[in-house]
Amino acid sequence: MFNEIRELQRLIFSKQKSRYKRYFFDRFDFDRLTGIIGARGVGKTTFLIQYLKAHPLPLSKKLYVSADSIKIDSLFELAKTFQNSGGELLVLDEIHKYIGFESELKKIYDFLELQVIFSGSSALQIDNSKADLSRRAIVYEVKGMSFREFLELKHNISLPFYSLETLLEQHVDIAYALLENFSLSEFDDYLHNGYYPFYFDRFANYKLKLAETINTVLEVDIPSIFNIEYQNIRSLKKLLLLLCESVPYTPNITELLHKMQMGSDYRTLYRYLDYLHKAEIITLMRPKAKGDIIFSKPEKIYFNNTNLHYAYCETPNIGTIREVFFKSMLFEHALHIPKKGDFLVDDRYLFEIGGKSKSFSQIKDAPNSFVAADGITIGDGNKIPLWLFGFLY
């Protein structure tokens, strides 16, 4: 088996030519057991291969294994054999494809001295796993490309990123400096095509590749993690199309049940929504007071990023696109739906999202209130260009 794994590793290493390092490349502190989770297509495998190639250990002491490319009877026995042959660093990609990976990782951690890095779907529930991996593994979650990364990769340039506080205080000067490097007309290209790194794969049709990626999430990843019958995958696909009619507004659950022909089975509908949320196809904005409770009615539902919204919805609403972009760029911040305005960020900043004519009328009396306006190049005061929020990571 090791000959086959080594040959696959050699082929993968030779095929992976990307030199671009994503925002998270130097952020992670790797422990004995480290997990990298994220939506399919955001670059987890590319990162793992880049990390392995750059690691100073000789190739004989590091090993890349993809759980969906070779039949593995036991991860523990594989790891044990690798350690006995002098191995030190083991990377297990797409681990959610391996049934019972939790207990296998626990055994590797408890009985071997290997350093292990594993990757998997963003839907993996490490904190609730049967083997209690939360006490053993450090888990990092990665996202798709920001507008900044899209521009860097497209033009082979280096651009800075900013903290939210710095952006709010210095946005006029920042915008002037950034716009010396690119045309703002590229923002629309990003909204349509820029979230997933495979946009830059010259051999792939982006729209087709995106459809294939999401179908794999629906047909393979979600069933491998959650208790859902394959025949119900069609219901998930139908639900996504129906959500185009309501995004980003609060869904009418009764109406959705009727259109899904599910009678009054709201618990199953809420589970479906939760599966799609955890797989990062949609984002559920739940009431702040209720926390992350599956059976609480979402205040708003968005697609995870603007590319998905354009892919699924025939006539995307520009207001929705703006909110989806803002939400996706602020993933490192706590976002809630306030009574006035569109987003409350970190319980401190209130944002209204809109076009260039958007005013402060709805939030005029609120402290720390801002307008993120599409269609403007340079902002003024507390009115900030929407595109600038693409430089938060």
- Give percent above pLDDT 70 in the chain: 95
CA distance 221 to 229: 12
Angle, CA of 118, 119 and 120, to the nearest 5°: 130
Task: Give the model's confidence band at 47: pLDDT under 50 very low, under 70 low, under 90 confident, else very high.
Answer: very high
pLDDT of residue 19: 87
Mean of the pLDDT values across residues 92-104? 88
Task: Give the model's confidence band at 72: pLDDT under 50 very low, under 70 low, under 90 confident, else very high.
Answer: confident
pLDDT in tens, 56-68: 999 999 999 988 7
pLDDT of residue 68: 75
Please indicate, yes or no, if residue 166 is contained in any of the structural domains. Answer: yes
Task: Give the model's confidence band at 289: pLDDT under 50 very low, under 70 low, under 90 confident, else very high.
Answer: low
Residues 135 and 255 in one domain: no
Domain span holding position 283: 204-304
Residues 289 and 209 in one domain: yes
What are the start-end ranges of the E strands in 18-72? 33-38, 62-66
Strand partners, 336: 344
**Which of 270, 304, 338 is the C-terminal boundary of a domain?**
304
Q: Which of 66-70, 151-155, 206-210 has the lowest mean pLDDT?
A: 66-70
Which position has the higher pLDDT, 263 or 231? Answer: 263
* pLDDT of 364 over the 70 cut: yes
Alpha helices, DSSP H only, in the chain?
A: 2-15, 44-54, 75-84, 101-111, 147-155, 164-178, 186-193, 206-216, 222-225, 233-243, 253-260, 266-278, 306-312, 318-329
Strand partners, 34: 117, 138
Residues 217 and 279 in one domain: yes
Task: CATH number of the domain at 253, please.
Answer: 1.10.10
Please indicate, yes or no, if residue 115 is contained in any of the structural domains. Answer: yes
Mean of the pLDDT values across residues 70-76? 85
CA distance 288 to 64: 41
Mean pLDDT, the chain, integer: 91
pTM for the model stands at 0.91
Please indicate, yes or no, if residue 310 is contained in any of the structural domains. Answer: no
In the chain, the number of structural domains is 3
Mean of the pLDDT values across residues 124-143? 76
DSSP code at position 380? B
Residues 103 and 170 in one domain: no
- Give percent above pLDDT 90 in the chain: 69
DSSP code at position 251? P
* pLDDT of 126 over the 70 cut: no
CA distance 188 to 246: 23
Which position has the higher pLDDT, 239 or 16? Answer: 239
Residues 211 and 267 in one domain: yes
pLDDT of residue 365: 83
- Which helix (DSSP H) or strand (DSSP E) does residue 117 occupy? strand 115-121
Residues 33 and 125 in one domain: yes
CA distance 295 to 366: 32
The total number of residues written for the chain in this structure: 393
pLDDT of residue 333: 97
Please indicate, yes or no, if residue 222 is contained in any of the structural domains. Answer: yes
Residues 16 and 135 in one domain: yes
Residues 122 and 240 in one domain: no
* pLDDT of 131 over the 70 cut: no
Please indicate, yes or no, if residue 386 is contained in any of the structural domains. Answer: yes
Task: Give the model's confidence band at 216: pLDDT under 50 very low, under 70 low, under 90 confident, else very high.
Answer: very high
Mean of the pLDDT values across residues 88-100? 91
pLDDT of residue 7: 87
pLDDT in tens, 167-199: 999 999 999 999 999 999 999 999 999 999 999
Residues 57 and 91 in one domain: yes
Task: Give the model's confidence band at 297: pLDDT under 50 very low, under 70 low, under 90 confident, else very high.
Answer: confident
Task: Give the model's confidence band at 133: pLDDT under 50 very low, under 70 low, under 90 confident, else very high.
Answer: confident
Residues 114 and 172 in one domain: no
Please indicate, yes or no, if residue 309 is contained in any of the structural domains. Answer: no
CA distance 146 to 138: 24
**Which of 304, 336, 358 is the C-terminal boundary of a domain?**
304
Residue 177: name the closest of 165, 202, 160 by CA.
160
pLDDT in tens, 302-351: 999 999 999 988 888 999 999 999 999 999 999 999 989 999 999 999 99
Residues 227 and 160 in one domain: no
* pLDDT of 291 over the 70 cut: no
* pLDDT of 159 over the 60 cut: yes
pLDDT of residue 355: 96
Which position has the higher pLDDT, 71 or 26? Answer: 26
CA-based radius of gyration for the chain = 22
Q: Which of 79-83, 251-255, 281-285, 326-330 has the lowest mean pLDDT?
A: 251-255
Please indicate, yes or no, if residue 147 is contained in any of the structural domains. Answer: no
Please indicate, yes or no, if residue 149 is contained in any of the structural domains. Answer: no
Residues 388 and 282 in one domain: no
CA distance 75 to 101: 8
Task: CATH number of the domain at 61, please.
Answer: 3.40.50.300
